[in-house]
Amino acid sequence: MRPLARAAVVLLYLFLLAPMIVVVLSSFSNDAYLAFPPRHWGFAAYGGLLRNEGFQSGLEVSLVLGGIVTAVTLLIGTAAAWALARTSIPGRGSLLAFFTAPLLMPTIVLGLALLLVFAQLGLLGTLPGLVFGHSLVALPYVVRLMLTAIRGVPASVEEAAATLGAPPAAVFRRVTLPLIRPALLAAAALAFLASFDEVVITLFVIGPRLTTLPIQIFHYVQYRADPQVSALSVVLIAVTILLIVVIDRSTGFMRTVSR
Amino acid sequence: MPPYLELKGIAKSYGDGAPTVAGFDLAVMSGEFITLLGPSGCGKTTVLRIIAGLLAPTTGTVLLKGEDITARPTHLRNMGFVFQNYALFPHLSIERNVAFGLEMRGISGAKAHERTGRALDLVRLSAFRGRRPKELSGGQQQRAALARALVIEPAVLLLDEPLSNLDAKLREELRDEIREIQRRLGITTIFVTHDQSEALTMSDRIVVMEGGRVEQVANPVDIYERPATPFVAGFIGRTNRLQAIVRASAAEGATLAAGDETFTVRGALRAGHAVTAMIRPHRMRLAKTASGGDANVLAARIRKVTFAGETIEYDVEAAGTTLLVESPTSPVEGLRFAEGDNVSLCWDPADTMIFPR
Amino acid sequence: MRRWTGAVLATPATALMVLTFLLPMLWLARLSLDRSEDGGVLVPALSAGEYGQFLGDPFYQRILLRTFELGVTVTALTLVASYAIALFLFRTRSRWRAVLAVLTVSPMLISSVVRTYSWMTILDDHGLVNQALIWLGLVHRPIALMDNLLGVEIGLVQIEMPVMILALMAGFARLDPTLEEAARCLGAAPWRAFLRVTIPLSAPGIVLGCLVTFVQVMSSFVTPSLLGGGRVYVMATTIYQEALETLNWPLAAAISIILVVVFGACLAAYERFARRWAA
């Protein structure tokens, strides 16, 4: 590769990765407020983070919410995917488009729309309301992933199980489920991330007594620059990378991207 | 004796189009090997899946040992099914694959192990019991699928073009193995294929299908020698076709005219009727001159000679059309003909198959 | 039986979608036709008044224009910045390829708040860039890289790069490398072959990437909010303000519908384009 081109790519990669590098480095700071490079290097920011009750409660909510959303969307999403793949219900194409549609809408619009309806239903600022709101953005990923996975199991394999005496529930448990397990893991990771990272819709449906971690960070950084936030960001980035590894192990998506 | 498996008036249609299967009736005796034979799209696989319960018929009934099982779900029919693409469970070993049906019946432990072992021995796959399906070749996978279907001691064994994905040599080997195993176990078997040589070599009876309907049900010899319709005659083996008019008819036979030539056939026909006469290529002979006797003779001219190892094929022009003659190869040079030769084409009138047009 | 089971299995997910998507979107569209009086009083109506207010008022017109400009600028810059990386990533045979690919794409899975915050640490008056500029002697006082449109643009470009790179690579996948080689054999200098052959042929990927980036920037909220310091007004921030601060729900709804229409127009344009290129 020509040296000029190579230099350009290196610079561009630096631009692409700079924010993450800076955040990681700035988290190892003993300063009271954010400075880069830190005046005093150390782990004080992480220590402060552990004692920060506000962030702790936000983290709790985000984790619990993420868990519930993952469980709910995995269940109903996989069921819907199975119906789309294996049964002859009418309008399968339109139904799939319907399930995918939220991905094509700006979250600001989705958030406002939810605000309007939830205000009428009294779901604002409630955990169920948040579950519904986050499930909206998590479900499309689950349905699409599981649909591909189920389609990847040849129908003849399930039919073979039936001829050998397996009733439909046993066919699913003993044959289909083991074969779609990798996709289930990937879908779970994606659904969790979709909920855990969700900001805009959440802004519209939260209330005074219930808040998630991203929202807390959002309000916090509008007024302060604090190494604790860098530390928190590093933790969140680490969790994300962990989940990406889970997704990759299950589906080999790294190989797909690098092809 | 009442039939073991019976299909009465089975029909299947999707929407408003032509039915996939129409008016299908079949009575199968215990231990019989029946083949459903026909080109792609003739409905044979549909019928098989209806027997297995994988598909519900639009009308008609399926009876097993006299019981109506039309509404019974697949997993309660106790029928072994061997798929074209083997359909082995990719996440289980061969042994677990074969034992699956036993597990579903609550048979496990030593009993299951013993029966699985016997099934694997039957198909000579014992050495591969611990492997995964993807580690096996196509032929081995098919044998595993067969063992899996047999170990449950099914009431009926159903096979859906099991040999189509294998190469020619393997197909022949497995063909013999399957027939041998079936004879030994005496399992009532329905076999679906589009390959007529499989049908002819393996079956007790053949059901020839086309366009969702049954063309003929008979044993292999009758299917070959006494086809009921032009389709059957044309589908099984090769045939020559002559469009002819009945010139004269008598008790022992009739005289037909095709082009400028005439020839005789057995059977009583009405004069003036149009018919299709079909003769198998290997029942025709070429000779330098007519030898006399009561064989049919046509003047012919050789268009093309093809050496095919065991036989020689001659494309000849006779009676205004092109006919194919198959002769066994012979070390005697003098019996071979060449392109452009004028010869006599002869055959026995009894070998002519006649169908009304 | 199959049909019945299928309906039962698909119902919960469908019900969720109706509750959280179909119903709300219809409500939104309906509400945009109501009017709002002073004090946040809702007047049910069937009027396009709020639309008129948004599109007619110069204040809001400027917002629409600024959002549009932002979309175009960021998309163009992102394209330029991403093309080189996408091409490199696509063609490299280095053993780090997979790692680099993941590194490039995985930021997409990190929360937008965290990604935007990272930029806040860099563009701040005492941040990395200003420190570097002062240290290099290029400026004497920190320049304002945050709380303004410039900061928002810089942040958005970097945030959108992974998406653009993915789209470009998808387009490259359809590219035949021998075509550029053929051009070189015919006498074109490498950069010429690149301009005259590679770029035009990767057009589908470019169009897809630009489209996705454009719609994402047009509807972006977190980055303009944080990096704009509350002083950069775009469509998304205006919707938020009108809905949650001014409580003028019909207006917020109207602006949302306009945004959706822009989205829809871009999608439709892409469909047309994609069909032509598929031929």
Which residue, among C4, C18, C21, would best test binding to A if mutated, counting the most A CBs under 10 Å from its CB?
C21
pLDDT in tens, A201-237: 999 999 888 899 999 999 998 888 788 888 898 888 8
> What is the average per-residue pLDDT within C34-58?
76
E strands, chain B, are 5-12, 21-28, 33-37, 59-64, 67-68, 79-82, 156-160, 188-193, 205-210, 213-218, 240-249, 253-258, 261-266, 274-279, 285-287, 296-307, 311-318, 321-328, 342-347, 353-356
Instruction: Check whether C25 has a pLDDT greater than 50.
Output: yes
Residues 56-95 of B with CB under 8 A from A: 73-81, 83-85, 87-91
Whole-number pLDDT of residue C2: 65
Instruction: Check whether B333 has a pLDDT greater than 60.
Output: no
**Interstrand relation of B342-347 and B321-328 (parallel, antiparallel or unpaired):** unpaired
Query: Do the beta carbons of residue C81 and residue A12 sit within 8 Å?
Result: yes
Distance CA B88, CA B149 (A): 11
B90 contacts in chain A (CB < 8 Å): 157, 179
Would you state the structure tokens that stand for residue B319, as one six-digit string? Answer: 């009676």
Query: Do the beta carbons of residue C20 and residue A132 sit within 8 Å?
Result: yes
Query: Do the beta carbons of residue B313 and residue B324 sit within 8 Å?
Result: yes
A136 contacts in chain C (CB < 8 Å): 16-17, 20-21
* Residue A50 touches partner C, C-beta closer than 8 Å: no
The nearest alpha carbon in chain B to A179 belongs to: B91
Query: Do the beta carbons of residue B319 and residue B297 sit within 8 Å?
Result: no
Distance CA B120, CA B128 (A): 9
Helix (H) or strand (E) holding A169: helix A168-171
Instruction: Check whether C279 has a pLDDT greater than 80.
Output: no
The widest CA-to-CA distance across chain C, in whole angstroms, is: 78
Q: Which of C213, C216, C242 is nearest to C28 (CA)?
A: C242
Mapped onto helix, strand or coil, the DSSP state of residue B158 is: strand
Q: Which of B134, B112, C159, B11 is nearest to A17 (CA)?
A: C159
Helix (H) or strand (E) holding B122: helix B109-122
> What is the average per-residue pLDDT within C3-19?
91
Cross-chain residue pair B73–A167, CB shorter than 8 Å: yes
Instruction: Check whether A258 has a pLDDT greater than 50.
Output: no
The nearest alpha carbon in chain A to B150 belongs to: A164
The model's confidence at residue B25, banded by pLDDT at 50, 70 and 90, is very high
**Interstrand relation of C35-37 and C41-43 (parallel, antiparallel or unpaired):** antiparallel
Whole-number pLDDT of residue C45: 75
Whole-number pLDDT of residue C277: 64
Would you state the structure tokens that stand for residue B244, as one six-digit string? Answer: 């002819």
More confident residue, C173 or A238: A238
Distance CA A141, CA C109 (A): 13
Distance CA A53, CA A175 (A): 46
Distance CA A238, CA A227 (A): 17
Q: At what angle do helices C203-218 and C58-91 cross, to 10 degrees?
A: 140
pTM: 0.84
Distance CA C127, CA C113 (A): 18
Distance CA C176, CA A251 (A): 27
Task: Report percent pLDDT > 70 for chain C.
Answer: 92
Task: Report percent pLDDT > 70 for chain B.
Answer: 98
- Residue C104: burial class (beta carbons within 10 Å; 0-12, 13-18, 19+): buried
Q: How many CB pairs under 8 A join A and B?
A: 67
CB nearest to C16's CB, from A5, A114, A135: A135
Q: At what angle do helices C58-91 and C49-56 cross, to 10 degrees?
A: 80
CATH superfamily placement of domain A53-226: MetI-like (1.10.3720.10)
Tokens 């919410």: give the residue. A65
pLDDT in tens, A119-172: 999 999 899 999 999 999 999 999 999 999 999 999 999 999 999 999 999 999
Give the list of residues 6+ apart from residue B1 with CB closer than 8 angstroms, or none: B29, B30
Q: Domains plus CATH for chain B?
A: 5-235 (3.40.50.300), 240-356 (2.40.50.100)
Q: Which amino acid is at B112?
A: A
Q: Give C157-207 as a DSSP string.
A: HHHHHHHHHHHHHHHHTT--HHHHHHHHHTT--HHHHIIIIIHHHTHHHHH
Instruction: Supply φ then ψ for residue B171, to 5 degrees.
Output: -60, -45
* Residue A235 touches partner C, C-beta closer than 8 Å: no
- Residue A17: burial class (beta carbons within 10 Å; 0-12, 13-18, 19+): middle
pLDDT in tens, B216-233: 999 999 999 889 998 999
Tokens 């619990």: give the residue. A64
CA-based nearest distance B146→chain A, Å: 11
- Residue B280: burial class (beta carbons within 10 Å; 0-12, 13-18, 19+): buried
pLDDT in tens, C83-109: 888 888 887 877 778 778 878 887 887
Mapped onto helix, strand or coil, the DSSP state of residue C219 is: coil
> What is the average per-residue pLDDT within B154-170?
92
A222 contacts in chain C (CB < 8 Å): 225-226, 230
Distance CA A250, CA A232 (A): 27
CB nearest to A36's CB, from C12, C27, C128: C128
Domain boundaries in chain A?
53-226
Distance CA C87, CA C77 (A): 16
Preceding omega of A128 cis (within 30 degrees of 0): no
pLDDT in tens, A37-94: 777 888 888 888 888 888 888 999 999 999 999 999 999 999 999 999 998 888 889 9
Distance CA C147, CA B285 (A): 100
Distance CA B302, CA C97 (A): 67
How is residue A41 annotated by DSSP? Answer: B
Query: Do the beta carbons of residue B327 and residue B285 sit within 8 Å?
Result: yes
Q: Which amino acid is at A207?
A: G
CB nearest to A157's CB, from B76, B89, B152: B89
**Interstrand relation of B33-37 and B205-210 (parallel, antiparallel or unpaired):** parallel
Mapped onto helix, strand or coil, the DSSP state of residue B212 is: coil
Whole-number pLDDT of residue A259: 44
Whole-number pLDDT of residue A113: 95
Which residue, among C18, C50, C117, would best test binding to A if mutated, counting the most A CBs under 10 Å from its CB?
C117
The nearest alpha carbon in chain B to A165 belongs to: B75
Distance CA B194, CA B27 (A): 21
CA distance between the termini of chain A: 20
Helix (H) or strand (E) holding B170: helix B168-185
CA B69 to each of CA A36, B139, B192, C91: distance values in angstroms, whole numbers, following the listed order: 78, 33, 21, 61
> What is the average per-residue pLDDT within C244-255?
90
Give the list of residues 6+ apart from residue A208 with CB closer than 8 angstroms, or none: A125
Instruction: Specify the CATH number of the domain C51-278.
Output: 1.10.3720.10
